[in-house]
Every structure is written in structure tokens, then in C-alpha cells.
Chain A
């Protein structure tokens, strides 16, 4: 249940066994079934969710009822509505499970206590947030300046595993294009081969 979390933390900071044993006590283990929500738009995002197993998506819904996927999350990743989590304001997005998943939830108060108890964890989260921020900046930049076909190819290269696990319609939503456009792009690419 905690192996992947331990590996992910150890990649970035050197935590002793004792420190990890203490860190574990701050996390709430939670199983969710496919299609279940862990956050619904308008709720306050109370926890950061580490994914031990499974696949989830973070998305918003527009006035026409159309879903726009902000990001996916698979094993070893964190998923949350960071703005809602840090400010305590209602979330503008929802998070649900694409597959049956196993999570380790870190509530805001536990997050603060854990960072105070183990400063190395605070350092871990600083690195994580820096990476999240630069990934988000890159995504915004790509969305406004890179052609859809290139964005799709980048997606395949960067997230090969997600490509296998998520329906094409959801990948299209993530790329900000219609499913029809994505199938055109895929057809064009197949012909080029």
C-alpha cells in the first residue's frame, strides 16, 4: 500500500525507515471504485491524494455540460485541486476514478503537521510543487502555441501508459480538441507511416 509512496519520496529526499514509519501515520488509506468521485466541483478539496494503484482524472465542466480534462493521474502521482486545497475555497473542478483505485489521502491539517514533524517531507513537497508548476506552465504554453498533432505526439511520448489506459475521447478532451479531430490526426499519422 505504501511501497510506491516510499519509492517516490526516496527519489527526491533521503528519509530514514523510522521517518517513513512516522510519515505513514498521517495518510488515510482509501479505496475508490471506477467512476466514484473523490472531489466534486464546488466542494472544498480537503486532501492531496497519492495514487498507489489505479487511474483518476481531474476535470471541469463548461456551461454546455462538456467535460475538459485538466490532468490524469496514475500510480506514483498526486492528484488534487491545488487551488482549492491551499486556499480553502470551493473547487472549480472534479476528480473521479477512471479505474478502481487505491489512494493515500493527506488532509490539509495532516499535511501541515507532517511538514512540521519531518522537514525533509516539506522539502519533498517543495520539489513536487515546483515540478507541478513548471508542468502546468508548459501545458498552458503548448495549448496556445503548439499545433494539435504535435501536442498529441508529445502526449504519447510523455505518457505512454496513460494512452493505453484511457479512452481516446478523454485524451482528446485533455488535448483540448474534439474526438473527431483526434481521430483525424490519428488517421493522418497512420498514413504518414
Chain B
């Protein structure tokens, strides 16, 4: 059975990057979002690059999640629980990927309590799903330029479900990034702070989104 992936918020910068790469890698990808004209444009762009892409657009996040085996919530932190409420009945037993960072408006801190994270909040809300943190420490530009200073950008993957970590690590690889399993879902607290730091550094040093994390080792 071909794996079907729903990208909720597929018209956004992160969502479109992930969806395009996964469609190119041969997955069946359901592009879900409110703005159907943006999604139609995205479909055209994906098919121009990869004519065999198995993609469909849907305006309902529940329908897309019902049909999917894996759901990627490419939405801001502020929308994550709202979407979770809509899809919770149809994601039992499925992998749900949280890519968001709970940034404050000034982009200089996180709004979550240090004893939790956006991903753990989502997992509390979806107790029968396999919540995975991934893609939160990468900029959208990384899907188009995945090698910086001669190194492939790392993307950390965290979950309490080991099989889900392995499956999502493969997805990360298929988007052109280097997957790095980082541990249990509680590691998301660190990962979300790492995203905050990267954003601060990018602003302070004018990286212009051309930056990423890389763990060096021999």
C-alpha cells in the first residue's frame, strides 16, 4: 500500500516545501488548506517539476487526515490545537508530525512553559496518535538549498514511539535533509528552543533564512 501523507497547511512556506519534496519522492500527498487557489497553484508547480506526482487538494483537514496514513501539521503553533480538535477522531493510531515553534510575537522567547513543549501539548490532545516532532529547526529555504557550507542540514526527529521516529526519519531523508533521531518527545523542549536560537541568530546576523543546524562528528 502506497503511503499517503496529508500536509495540513500545504500552501504555507514550510508546508509547500515539505509537500513538494514528498510528492517528488513518490508518496501520495494530500495538500490540505483553506486557500484552494494557492493549493491549485502548488499542484501545478509540483506537476511541472514531477509529472507523475500522486497529489490531490482538499479543503477539509479532517477528510485529508482520514485518508492519510501520516499527517504533517504545517501550521503555526497557534493553530495546532484548533486543527487537532478537527482531526482527532480520524488520527487514532496514526503518526502526526508537529513542525511548529511556540514563538512569542517579538520572536525572542517561547510562550510555552519550560516544563512542556508544543509537541507534548499536542500529544496530550491526541493521546491515541503517535506524535512526532520534526522539521521545526529548519527554515523553509532548506528544502530548496539543503547543503550549506558543504554540509547537509540536520533535521531532528523526536517521539515516544520508536517506530514512528524511524518512519519520520525516512520522510526527512526524502525531503533532502539529514535526519537525526534525538530521543523522546520531551526533547522537543530543547528542539523548540534551538529553533528560537536559530531564528534569533538569523535576524541578528542577516542570514536571511540561509542557516541550519549541523552536528559535526568524525
Contact = CB atoms under 8 A, between A and B. Distances in A.
B128 A25 contact: yes
Which of A25, A30, A110 has the most B CB atoms < 10 Å from its CB? A30
Contacts of A40: 1
Interface residues of B, number: 13
A24 B63 contact: no
Contacts, number: 34
Contacts of A20: none
Contacts of B63: 31
A25 B130 CA distance: 12
B1 A27 contact: no
Interface stretch (B15-23, B89-97, B99-107, B203-211): B89-97
B80 interface: no
Contact of B66 (A31, A39, A107): A31
A24 B1 contact: no
Nearest to A37: B1
B160 interface: no
Contact of A1 (B2, B89, B91): B89
Q: Interface size bucket, A side? A: 20 to 34
Contact of A39 (B1, B67, B69, B93): B1
B67 A31 contact: yes
A80 to B, nearest CB: 12
Given A37-B1, A43-B1, A107 B93 contact: yes
A25 B1 contact: no
A142 to B, nearest CB: 31
A28 B94 contact: yes
Nearest to A100: B67
Nearest to A46: B1
Interface string A11-37: 000000000000011111111110001
12 contacts: A1-B89, A24-B92, A25-B92, A25-B128, A27-B92, A27-B93, A29-B91, A30-B69, A31-B63, A31-B67, A43-B1, A102-B66
Interface of A: 1, 24-33, 37-40, 43, 102, 105, 107, 110
Given A28-B93, A38-B1, A43-B1, 16 more contacts: A24-B92, A25-B92, A26-B93, A27-B92, A29-B90, A29-B91, A30-B66, A30-B67, A31-B63, A33-B67, A37-B1, A37-B2, A39-B1, A40-B1, A107-B93, A110-B93
